Amino acid sequence: MLTRYLSILLVLLLTASPAAAGAIPLTDRAGGSLASGSTSLSSGSESSAPEPTYDPVDPRSGRLIATSGFDVLRDGFSFDNWGPGSDVHRRSLTPAAMQSLFGDDICARIVNGDCVLSAPGAALESTANEMAAGGHCYGMAALAGLFHTGGLDKARYLPHGQTVFEAQPSDELDRLISRYWAAQISSPSSTATTENSVSHTVRKLVSAWARGDNFILSFFNADGAGGHAVTPIALRDLGAGRIGIVVYDNNFPGVEKIFVTDPLADSWYYTTATNPSEPAYLYVGSRDNRLHLTPLQATTQIHECPVCAGAGDDSVTVMIKRNPGAGDVSRDKPDVLITTPAGDPVPGLKSLDFVSTMDTLAAVLPAATAFDIRMANVGSGPAQDWDVTLFGDGWTNEVDGISLASGHTATVAVSADQRELSLSGTAPVEPELAVAEEQADWSVESRASGVLLSPGTVASVARRTEGDVVFSLRGEGSDGSAEIAVRRRDVERDYIVRTAGPVTIPVGSSASVAAGSWDGTTSLVARVAGAGVSREYPLG
């Protein structure tokens, strides 16, 4: 029996498709590492060492060592990997896809077989769809491999007798590819993924193909950015101790591509060029930048739900991403640091590798840990919008639309109980703040947008243990105003109420709504208190 949910939406209204999605061009390479407790997206220093050559190699050269039997003109898709939605690719993650990936717990209710997402589930779906604008390569690599190995019955999704290559983009295929793209978010796909030396990669591929199985092969630039995922299909002896890993690259349908590897040196490179005069995408690997393998079968399972109450541990996952609607990316990347409030590395912080061309940084941090996310645009390019999202056990917190002009900084401070996010900056910022939380029988989402924060003003959104949602302003600056709407979603229906007009929130005060105790039929008010103000605004 589906667990009962109350889903409450509290809305506070205060007065890029890449050239080759899933790959980073040679002229635009960004990086970052969260393993040390902080990360930087700024460009690396130049080296005076001579540049090695990475000559294109014909995927048919050398001697065939092993093959999976995968034919790019039969088993690969005929259409390119894509980023943002378009007239051709109209569908990404849907509630049905989220239910397929995370199970029924992500649904507030199921009506005639259709999942209605809980508030945290809807927030996760929205964030994942925005991140998928960086390319669906992981999902295409997974699905092509599963169709070929029989891990997924393609007869359920394609007309009888039709090959994968003959299939055209459709809402059903887009939804399915998006579902498998999102598998990388959590376990078992994330925990089953391993980093491998070249020799281990070769041995694992030969063993998998011998039993009719395969892997997703994913890889990154040397600085950890620009992830891409492909389907490995054959091995070739290229001579001089080199082994070629032939792949189906979903950025290049209908043709084979090849990794050039040196097992003895434990190095590899991958260039998409077929001759030196072509524009190319280049990845270079070493012992410090190894190949990643994900077993196909791991992606087919029900995954751990990052936002379902009681479904995971008490750690918090942080996603920092560039808004795809923010325009072109400057080559001067803003610095992003995750530190303690004192500016030190965060103990227990673990970085996550995420396959996407979008400027995305991800990390897992311990529960009951206060930390700051500090962003600074150190470049000379245009302002860019960044979103920060925290995913926890039954909750999400977001600060979206952080516009960083050149030379300015912004900080998102996370409280020790991780129930409150506070935003401040050195320049005017117009953010959107959101909180979603699920308990045994209710969930709540709150949003604040349209408020212009001046330097010295701090805006925060907090989740109270008794179920109240509190929005507050402190510091210096002008009063804010908000329109508040509350939606309760349970196993039967949705209930919606809203204020008749804007709610004034002076600096030094807060507005709270007892959303968690509202049953959908009783009266509900927004209470503003502080700065000499005490007033109630009815919702109806």
- Structural domain spans, the chain: 54-305, 316-539
- CA–chain centroid gap for 23, Å, is 16
Structure confidence at residue 520 (pLDDT)? 85
Q: Are 308 and 394 in contact (CB under 8 A)?
A: yes
Which residues 6+ apart lie within 8 Å of 85 measured at CB? 91, 92
At 438, list the tokens: 């699920």
Chain mean pLDDT for the chain: 85
Does pLDDT of 46 surpass 90? no
Q: For residue 60, how many C-alpha atoms fall within 13 Å in the half-sphere facing its CB?
A: 2
Q: Are 510 and 528 in contact (CB under 8 A)?
A: yes
Q: What is the pTM of this model?
A: 0.85
At 347, list the tokens: 């103990």
* Dihedral angle, C-alpha 263, 264, 265, 269, nearest 10 °: -20
Query: What are the CB-based long-range contacts (under 8 Å, 24+) for 295-298?
Result: 295/192, 295/208, 295/213, 295/215, 296/142, 296/145, 296/146, 296/149, 296/151, 296/213, 296/214, 296/215, 296/216, 297/151, 297/213, 298/183, 298/188, 298/189, 298/192, 298/193
Burial of 461 (0-12, 13-18, 19+ CB in 10 A): buried
Q: Are 28 and 199 in contact (CB under 8 A)?
A: no
Structure confidence at residue 51 (pLDDT)? 66
* Dihedral angle, C-alpha 340, 335, 478, 12, nearest 10 °: -80
* Secondary structure, 3-state, 270-283: EECCCCCCCCCEEE
Model confidence over 447-491: pLDDT tens digits?
Answer: 777 777 889 899 999 988 888 899 999 998 888 887 888 888 887
At 21, list the tokens: 């999605």
What is the longest distance spanned by two Cα atoms in the chain? 82
Find the helix packing angle between 95-102 and 171-181, rounded to 10°.
40
Which residues 6+ apart lie within 8 Å of 379 measured at CB? 42, 330, 331, 332, 333, 334, 406
Percentage, residues of the chain above pLDDT 70:
85
Say which DSSP state 104 is in: G
Structure confidence at residue 353 (pLDDT)? 79
Query: In angstroms, rounded to a whole number, what is the distance separating the alpha carbons of residues 86 and 261?
Result: 37
Does pLDDT of 159 surpass 80? yes
Pairing of strands 409-414, 371-376: antiparallel
Which pLDDT band holds residue 278 (cuts at 50, 70, 90)? low
Model confidence over 507-530: pLDDT tens digits?
Answer: 999 999 998 888 888 999 999 999
Q: Give the mean model confidence (pLDDT) for residues 127-135.
A: 89
Q: Give the mean model confidence (pLDDT) for residues 174-200.
A: 96
Pairing of strands 7-14, 443-449: parallel
Which one of 2-11, 31-40, 326-335 scores highest in mean pLDDT?
326-335
- CA–chain centroid gap for 110, Å, is 26
Q: Are 158 and 144 in contact (CB under 8 A)?
A: no
Which pLDDT band holds residue 277 (cuts at 50, 70, 90)? low
Model confidence over 206-257: pLDDT tens digits?
Answer: 999 999 999 999 999 887 767 899 999 999 999 999 999 999 999 999 999 9
